[in-house]
Amino acid sequence: MHISPFFQELRSAYQAELDDLSFDSEGQHVLHKRLAEKRQAMTFLLQMIDLNPEMVAVVLHQAFQFNAPAVMEHLLTRDADELLSWDELSDSLDMAPWAQPIVQAALNEPTGAWFLTVAAALEYMHQKPMGAGAQTATVGSDDDDSERSDSGPEDEEERAAREREEAGNAWMVEQGFDSKE
């Protein structure tokens, strides 16, 4: 399956955000507690949906049940400015009752419908781990590029993941959490 570069990048960032929220500095699993705190701060977080949708999308972690995988997989092939509308997408999924107020708050924002579509796609990718073929589907298929795609993108992905982790750690410290370092 082909995943657009937009969703490939956001997928890594979304997973890093969930990882950052999962454990405290003492190694205790605190994901549910931190997600509850983020959900309480939704009004503030909505300001970030355009620039960092993956940091806000975690508030909808485990909120979706996907009834039409083909629709979701089609969505993942699209770039940020070509997404399905929330109205089109919402017909193909069920939402947990606890998520309804969050969805309504997001829909009150100018780009809230776009954000909800992105959040659903991120959660779909998280729930359905995709093999290496999906990750490399956008890497060029030229024979000359195939050797570089084995080592080059990994280094770039590792660097980007490290930078996201550092930025996430800095943000968490700003929010009053202990540094992971």
Task: Give residue-wise pLDDT tens across range 42-54.
Answer: 989 999 999 999 9
Residue 133 has pLDDT above 50, yes or no: no
Across 66-80, average pLDDT: 94
- Higher pLDDT pick, 180 / 126: 126
Give helix 5-22 / helix 31-40 axis angle, nearest 10°. 110
pLDDT band at 26 (very low <50, low <70, confident <90, very high): confident
Tell me the pLDDT of the chain averaged across its residues. Answer: 81
16 CB-contact burial (10 Å; exposed 0-12 / middle 13-18 / buried 19+): buried
The ranges assigned to domains in the chain are 5-174
Q: Which residues contact 172 (CB under 8 A, 6 or more apart)?
A: 20, 179, 180
Give dist(CA 119, CA 128) in Å, integer.
14
